Chain A
């Protein structure tokens, strides 16, 4: 018995020593190398089964509710939109072989011939009309309604033609149809499945390269290749595709390290070095449309004053935050739009969009003086967060510390992930919250999508930001019949957001992809949310 105490002490000491060895790699002062790439080497052969990790189970495979990373990365391989989103975020023909814009308020889509649904039936304009009209149906309550806010009618206007008429010109509508908003489902299936459509028991019946075989809730979604897929260039190279739900990041990373799982998107940034060190696969970084920022949600609080918002941005060491929250795999930014979404603009505009920005370097003295000038010293802010990853925790606590350092009083309120999601849709859920963190991604390669949500009274303008000059610039870009000087308006909107900081920009993260040494083939871009990326993956 006497030895027990000594053994316990010895064990504790050994564990501490072991732990300290393990933690040596944890400290990271230098920014790691992060080379962006568009694609991975093409696949050389076929696979029996491709196993892919999912950080969360999809909420639904109903395209009307597919509004998150976990839903869309699965759905993209089963269901297809009218148009395709390329890796560079440009738009190409998809289920619509071509499109025309004969008048500013009319979009005519020619539906591709001989496209089969997974049940063997053929795609018709009736399916397109039924699928798209669901977004206009208040009973459906589509998450993508805003993309159709200006739509007057969606009608079949020929045996292979569908026409969308809008109440006013809409610069984003056509591009929106390259995402989940443009997904086409069999009209007969929609009618047959009703409320079960898209859930684990009902499933879906679309035209994508993979078809859903089984959805075991909480475990995995099993897909198999669809032999009658219309695009022979994207014929699946893996016969079976299993999406394995692994919510625990440690388990997910270990499965990737061991090769038990072939790959995954959205790799936890603090695991990237660990994964790369294993040598069992390859880490890729690609284009993204997301900016991580702090949403200001209470215009009545101290952050209703632009000077306090600027002070808070200046009090956060965002380069340090990149290291702490994302292990260095991100870039600090002063813009609320990612560089990637400007890719379709002329080169000059792309450069001007970022060259013209005010910079907000880490400057505590300036930040304190701004708070003092605004008379906000001692005022309280509440930062709401959720246990949704290391970056959420680090951003919330670092922001609270920064706020305290400039004379504000900060409280962190931790809520459940579901309650956190409600912040984005329910004004009541935002009551008592001044700030919350988001990694806001755009569904199209156009900064207008971001600018449109910051207009006065827009649904996602959570902080009630309002600027007539800004609204005018964005509306001109969105609705003008011939949007002369669209670039000028985009630059104007970018500049105003940068000056007014309705949300506080933190950093841009790349799209991250890990693939084991066994597989290769897909592009590396945020378009994986809407493009049938898994069909490209095969054996090395």
Chain B
């Protein structure tokens, strides 16, 4: 087991997809978070940066359903706006890593030989570096914020998709429908992209859903370390970090609410990903 596999397995176990209710609750939760993120200006009770210094770290009340933070900002409003960055980062990473991974995996699996060997070794090298480490390196080189970590993590996640695609394509390549296309004189590129690729995308899609949870946790960790989204922007990782100071005063709500949100969204997304895997068939199951 590699160093990265342990936390990945731990995160992937956070799933409720084998129960109908679990899946339903997960789906509802994800939809609610997405809607909150999209319609944040409409549903947020206060502007996320509105400071009220005389009402700091207050308990939940009618005016502030989830209380306030160390600057008297409404925690619920910051959670709603924080959902935007919580989803925005992982979506970009998943899109980029999936596009890159599918292209490289398809090429390696279809071409085989030296191309397959080179691409596979590159995947192995990239996999040797934890995604979070690459993201921290990118921040050190290019500065704080989301852009550098998104690019670094997209690269780090590409091998997961690439290896899966390569393995699926290698299997598909020997199937009869491929031979039929070849006999009829279709170009190899056409067969690979138009005939084989659609057959593997379903499984790849379920894997990307699972990756979403990992990426979300890692980007939140980056913000928690002060390397991702910068204050005063609302971000769940940032909120956990800032909430730490209230722990000294015995007030754990400001840190716990965003922590809980990160756990719940990961559980929910994993549940949906797990259900998709069951439906589409997981080649590694």
A residues within 8 Å of B by Cβ? 1-2, 4-6, 8-9, 12, 15-16, 19-20, 22-29, 249-250, 253, 268, 270-271, 273-274, 317, 320-321, 323-324, 327, 387, 389-390, 393-394, 396-398, 400-401, 404, 412-414
Contact = CB atoms under 8 A, between A and B. Distances in A.
B57 interface: yes
Contact of A22 (B242, B248, B250): B250
Most chain B beta-carbon neighbours within 10 Å: one of A23, A249, A327, A413:
A23
Given A2-B19, A270-B249, A320-B53, A398 B231 contact: no
Interface string B217-231: 000000000100011
Contacts of A29: 54-55
Contacts of B248: 249-250, 253, 268, 270-271, 274, 390
A385 B15 CA distance: 39
20 contacts: A8-B16, A12-B260, A15-B260, A16-B256, A19-B251, A20-B60, A20-B67, A20-B253, A23-B67, A23-B254, A26-B250, A28-B57, A271-B248, A274-B250, A324-B72, A387-B226, A389-B245, A390-B245, A401-B232, A412-B230
B56 A27 contact: yes
B280 interface: no
Given A270-B249, A398-B51, A401-B49, A12 B264 contact: yes
A1 B271 CA distance: 13
A27 B252 contact: no
Given A26-B58, A393-B242, A5 B19 contact: yes
Given A20-B59, A250-B248, A390-B245, A6 B21 contact: yes
Contacts of B264: 12
A270 B49 CA distance: 22
B228 to A, nearest CB: 11
B249 A397 contact: no
B22 interface: yes
B56 to A, nearest CB: 5
A127 to B, nearest CB: 43
Given A4-B22, A412-B231, A398 B58 contact: no
Contacts of A15: 256, 260
Nearest to B246: A26
A394 B59 CA distance: 18
Contacts of B56: 26-28, 323-324, 394
B158 to A, nearest CB: 30
B251 A25 contact: yes
A251 to B, nearest CB: 10
B244 interface: yes
B231 A393 contact: yes
Interface in B113-171: 144
A23 B70 contact: no
Contacts of B16: 4-5, 8
Contact of B253 (A19, A268, A400): A19
B18 interface: yes
B25 interface: yes
Contact of A271 (B51, B67, B249, B267): B249
Interface of B: 16, 18-22, 25, 49-60, 67-68, 70-72, 144, 226, 230-232, 241-242, 244-254, 256-257, 260, 264, 267
A23 B226 contact: no
A398 B19 contact: no
Contacts of B20: 2
Given A271-B248, A273-B249, A397-B232, A23 B25 contact: no
A273 B57 CA distance: 14
Contacts of B244: 250
B217 to A, nearest CB: 17
A2 B19 CA distance: 5
Contacts of A412: 230-232
Contacts, number: 144
Contacts of A274: 248-250
A271 B53 CA distance: 18
A327 B22 CA distance: 43
Contacts of A2: 19-22
Contacts of A404: 49
Given A270-B246, A317-B53, A414-B230, 16 more contacts: A1-B22, A5-B22, A19-B251, A19-B256, A23-B252, A26-B251, A27-B57, A29-B54, A270-B248, A271-B249, A274-B250, A323-B54, A387-B241, A397-B71, A398-B51, A414-B226
A268 B249 CA distance: 9
Contacts of A389: 245
A6 B24 CA distance: 12
- Per CB-CB distance, the 6 closest pairs between chain A and chain B, nearest first, are A320-B53, A26-B57, A26-B251, A390-B245, A27-B58, A5-B22
A397 B16 CA distance: 39
Contacts of A273: 249
Contacts of A9: 25
Contacts of A8: 16, 267
A26 B249 contact: yes
A12 B262 CA distance: 12
B278 to A, nearest CB: 13
Contacts of A268: 248
A23 B144 CA distance: 32
B87 to A, nearest CB: 20
A398 B250 CA distance: 23
Nearest to B254: A23
A398 B21 CA distance: 44
A53 to B, nearest CB: 13
Given A393-B231, A396-B231, A22 B71 contact: no
Given A268-B248, A321-B53, A400-B232, A23 B58 contact: yes
Nearest to B58: A27
Contacts of A23: 57-60, 67, 246, 251-254
A273 B251 CA distance: 12
A27 B18 CA distance: 42
A398 B245 contact: no
B57 A394 contact: no
A390 B249 CA distance: 11
A8 B21 CA distance: 12
Contacts of A19: 251-253, 256-257
A398 to B, nearest CB: 6
B22 A22 contact: no
A190 to B, nearest CB: 39
Contacts of A270: 245-246, 248-249
Most chain A beta-carbon neighbours within 10 Å: one of B19, B56, B68, B226:
B56
Contacts of A397: 51, 71, 231-232
A26 B59 contact: yes
Nearest to A28: B56
B248 to A, nearest CB: 4
A161 B267 CA distance: 76
A184 B282 CA distance: 74
A25 B68 CA distance: 13
A281 B273 CA distance: 53
A5 to B, nearest CB: 4
